[in-house]
Structure 1
């Protein structure tokens, strides 16, 4: 079936149409590398490398308990499918005996920017951690395929893109899959995650798990539909190490973060129908045309830029520079792009230098366009900010919020900064008593609503539900004292959620918090309490605890937050 030319033509057309209308910023359509797994027996050695060398500690990371092998029983092709099999069996290698075996395949192909499609069935057995993911080709991981020639950079500075993970989110509903990104700014228990519940059982049905990686953002898709996009507004090596080639990894890990493997476990298999990588290979020599840039909405802390250009490739790359800051983003040919620059100072003149290029580097003839705008004066009755906190759903970039008192009226303005949402509407939520009111669109994804007849000095609590094609995201509730210069506050629970600490740690857990902490408890993965402190301290001595993964419970008042932590 897979060798049918007609099938491939029909499929390519279907995928092009499917992804052409998906919520991705750049559509990649030229197949540059694939494995269709058409030949039974050993995995194609020209395309895949078995990574079997143990780390220096003698154990794989995250407390995993398996040996990765090149045995035919752990990875093979049969009936057009790659089988990766995790098994319960004693196996000795490199002088170490383990009770489980599995396979970890590295692609011998690396690339920068493009789309990856993997059609697969994913096992759900307790204690297993199947993953489809990518690592920087420059990672200095002993035993990896590219390490000896290109391994110059430590993890996570090499960047890690997890297309699919299952088994490490036991608190989530059945058939929940997760995608994640690991960078120097967030790794291990990273905050850069997105997930979705798959409608049809992932162990019994094939699904297409995809990532669309452009110079501007990384989007994750399930069966052609985006469910999470990573797009930091200002990209630095700390939050965006994704400008170097990456390679693919397919594996099933056992135990550790995935939990204890049950005693009656025998084996489980991940079946992969195909792996395909798409890029755009056509040489483009036509420059972008009709490039325009104008000023949109202006507040005391933000300026909106309205950009437009056309290009035969269908995609425009815009760059906005001001001061020492430079932001890049993608736009669709012929479609106005709203770019909101936030975090500005009130009553200040800003000069923005804007350029337009296609993805081949061809520049618009009228580059650059310089725009000048002065932010509005800061009213003593305005309070504003930017956040990514959500009480429902999630935000890939975040949102702006502003409360302004005018007499006995309060004007509430919210601006969605996410660029991966389409068809956006905004609904204002009042916390108590709960009511909801449609907000008025100002421009782009900026919405406002004025509530009247308020009492000066009273406290109001509001949030906003952003609804869009394919889902919704709801901001946290913010408390505002009417007539105040700046009294916006999050509820205690939200503030507690903002605690942070280095992860992993060695001897001491140093917790950073804006509020007083009443108690800290540490549990192992079996649920046993191993450490407890009831003093108001942000430094917890863990020198007497064994290395491993723990759950840390932090209390403040009647609120509690639980997070994972690794002790080395």
Structure 2
């Protein structure tokens, strides 16, 4: 009864559902499609709407279908009908003679008579899980050359998979997966059949007994698959051509249940299985987008010796914002972000201890720009505090050519980089950071390139000494570097800087306003850092100098003095 009431208020329901889903999609897809352009709500009991759907019954592979399936698709009312606001597709165990062959199962395969390019498809359905069944919600290129398809006689000039196939949902061909696992897949000339372009998710409750919304969001840039408004897989090949991206032409929707074949053996006690579909809806953007992004903010975030993070945020009714950043003479880059979600966009490859000016603009997919573009930001990169070297010594195993290593301090974090130089070891696919006392092992993940591995670890105390080794795992064995000591925050080519034997004078400590320095050299480098290792002041000074600390917050700071006589590091307390 509740279902019928919901159907009576279909226009309101559609608008409300669209609103909810569009809000969820804002943070997940690249283009939010908002205008309902085609749908079937299945409100009239009886046969399917012949204006919307075509029964595809002609066998396409001699006396069979493409995957060794065991059913006849029919136009019988028993295999596809509308009842109480739902489309029912029913696979049944019954002998059926057609096209010169008798098969023991019947089902239905429906083609939409509507084809489109770019947009979103929402299908609310219950999906059968019976062994031997293969229910599918999917799409094919309108140009597919497939006998019996609705568009074949007029547009079928392209073979599969060159036409492109988008599987919104499949169940039954992944029996090794957990219960309620659904799969989406892409079939193209670059990967088809047992394709590698797949994504899947385990649904939180019984898909045969509960409705869920299975969606596909298709833009010129990518195709995303959603379960109840949440993306679980996105197809976005970096090189889009006829082999990887035949998705620049219209496609149509198919709904069916296949039997057997790649879905496995059909149990002898099988009688029938039903896929229940509440609605099928297609959305595109048919109205011109004229709204500009609003509430655009841009701030400078974390700074290192080679990077500056820009914290960007803006709102747009399309659901997404593109930020364009220019800096220096030739620097230009852009980033894409969901509306209302702060994007920490890191500009890398910068020079240390250098001033940069960033010009940031915000726009949407329709080219509408923020009214006060651009926002200009200034930042100065820090001095890179790193140590690097190479060696052949091993603590376990052995090295032929050796390895390179580097340590870089980033605030309270240290970035570790190790590269194996040996050419006689292949399959170097993993590396692990070792600490000695107490022993621990941390994976560095996959190589960033060749045999180079990096890992950033947080929570180090500035000025503390740490010791790490790297284990390289390769085909047939492993080798571990020597343990290498590093002073967090130092720039020392893997050696601790010489400590000065001639203390410099500084006063008062604790300090309230000015810290006075009397130094042992006429040329001195001084630096003040906070407890997070951030450089607050840095300058080359003469033998006598005063640092104004009146605006510093109360707490502990570190003063580093470097001159020809060595290094002196001291703790300064600000009242």
Per the alignment, do residues 355 and 139 of structure 1 end up closer, same or farther by CA in structure 2, a change over 3 Å counting? farther
1:101 aligned residue (89, 98, 106): 106
Q: TM-score, normalised by structure 1?
A: 0.60
- Greater CA deviation, 182-191 or 332-341? 332-341
Q: How does 1:103-252 map to 2 (within 5 A)?
A: 103-224=108-229, 226-232=230-236, 234-237=238-241, 238-252=243-257
1:24 aligned partner: 28
The answer as to 2:260 corresponding to 1:255 is yes
1:281 aligned residue (270, 286, 291): 286
The answer as to 2:471 corresponding to 1:459 is yes
**Deviation digits for residues 280-305 of structure 1 (CA, Å, limit 9, x no counterpart):** 32222356689899999899999988
Equivalent-residue separation in structure 1 for 2:66 and 2:302 (angstroms): 49
The answer as to 2:338 corresponding to 1:332 is yes
Equivalent-residue separation in structure 2 for 1:128 and 1:264 (angstroms): 13
Equivalent-residue separation in structure 2 for 1:158 and 1:320 (angstroms): 38
1:13 aligned partner: 16
**Deviation digits for residues 164-222 of structure 1 (CA, Å, limit 9, x no counterpart):** 11111111111211122223333222233222222221112222222233333333222
Per the alignment, do residues 480 and 15 of structure 1 end up closer, same or farther by CA in structure 2, a change over 3 Å counting? farther
Asked whether the 8 Å contact 1:216–1:330 carries over to 2, the reply is no
Equivalent-residue separation in structure 1 for 2:108 and 2:325 (angstroms): 45
Asked whether the 8 Å contact 2:434–2:469 carries over to 1, the reply is no
2:40 aligned residue (35, 45, 48): 35
Equivalent-residue separation in structure 1 for 2:247 and 2:126 (angstroms): 28
The answer as to 2:364 corresponding to 1:358 is yes
Aligned alpha-carbon RMSD (Å): 5.0
Q: How does 1:139-538 map to 2 (within 5 A)?
A: 139-224=144-229, 226-232=230-236, 234-237=238-241, 238-286=243-291, 311-317=316-322, 330-333=336-339, 335-337=341-343, 358-360=364-366, 404-405=406-407, 411-412=414-415, 448-449=457-458, 458-459=470-471, 481=481
Q: CA deviation at 1:11?
A: 5.2
Per the alignment, do residues 46 and 11 of structure 1 end up closer, same or farther by CA in structure 2, a change over 3 Å counting? closer
Q: Secondary structure at the match of 1:149?
A: helix
**Deviation digits for residues 89-114 of structure 1 (CA, Å, limit 9, x no counterpart):** 22222223322221111111122232
**Deviation digits for residues 239-292 of structure 1 (CA, Å, limit 9, x no counterpart):** 333333221111111111110111222211111111112223222235668989
Per the alignment, do residues 457 and 289 of structure 1 end up closer, same or farther by CA in structure 2, a change over 3 Å counting? closer
Per the alignment, do residues 334 and 81 of structure 1 end up closer, same or farther by CA in structure 2, a change over 3 Å counting? closer
Q: Secondary structure at the match of 1:61?
A: coil
Q: Secondary structure at the match of 1:63?
A: coil
Equivalent-residue separation in structure 1 for 2:160 and 2:304 (angstroms): 41
Asked whether the 8 Å contact 1:309–1:334 carries over to 2, the reply is yes
Equivalent-residue separation in structure 1 for 2:47 and 2:264 (angstroms): 31
Q: Secondary structure at the match of 1:263?
A: coil
Q: Secondary structure at the match of 1:62?
A: coil
Q: Secondary structure at the match of 2:39?
A: strand
Equivalent-residue separation in structure 1 for 2:147 and 2:14 (angstroms): 39
**Deviation digits for residues 378-424 of structure 1 (CA, Å, limit 9, x no counterpart):** x99699xxxxxxxxxxxxxxxxxx984469x994479xxxxxxxxxx
1:63 aligned partner: 68
Q: CA deviation at 1:70?
A: 1.5
Q: CA deviation at 1:334?
A: 6.0
Asked whether the 8 Å contact 1:209–1:222 carries over to 2, the reply is yes
Asked whether the 8 Å contact 1:196–1:227 carries over to 2, the reply is no
Equivalent-residue separation in structure 2 for 1:480 and 1:346 (angstroms): 33
Equivalent-residue separation in structure 1 for 2:280 and 2:405 (angstroms): 49
Q: Secondary structure at the match of 1:21?
A: helix
Extract unaligned runs of 5+ from structure 1.
384-401, 415-427, 438-445, 462-477, 485-568
When Rg is computed on C-alpha atoms for both structures, the one with the higher figure is 2
Equivalent-residue separation in structure 2 for 1:456 and 1:54 (angstroms): 65
Extract unaligned runs of 5+ from structure 2.
327-331, 353-357, 391-403, 418-431, 445-454, 485-575
Equivalent-residue separation in structure 1 for 2:63 and 2:116 (angstroms): 31
Q: Secondary structure at the match of 1:107?
A: strand
Equivalent-residue separation in structure 2 for 1:341 and 1:231 (angstroms): 26
1:505 aligned partner: none
Equivalent-residue separation in structure 2 for 1:357 and 1:149 (angstroms): 41
- Greater CA deviation, 199-208 or 11-20? 11-20
1:389 aligned partner: none
Equivalent-residue separation in structure 2 for 1:307 and 1:259 (angstroms): 51
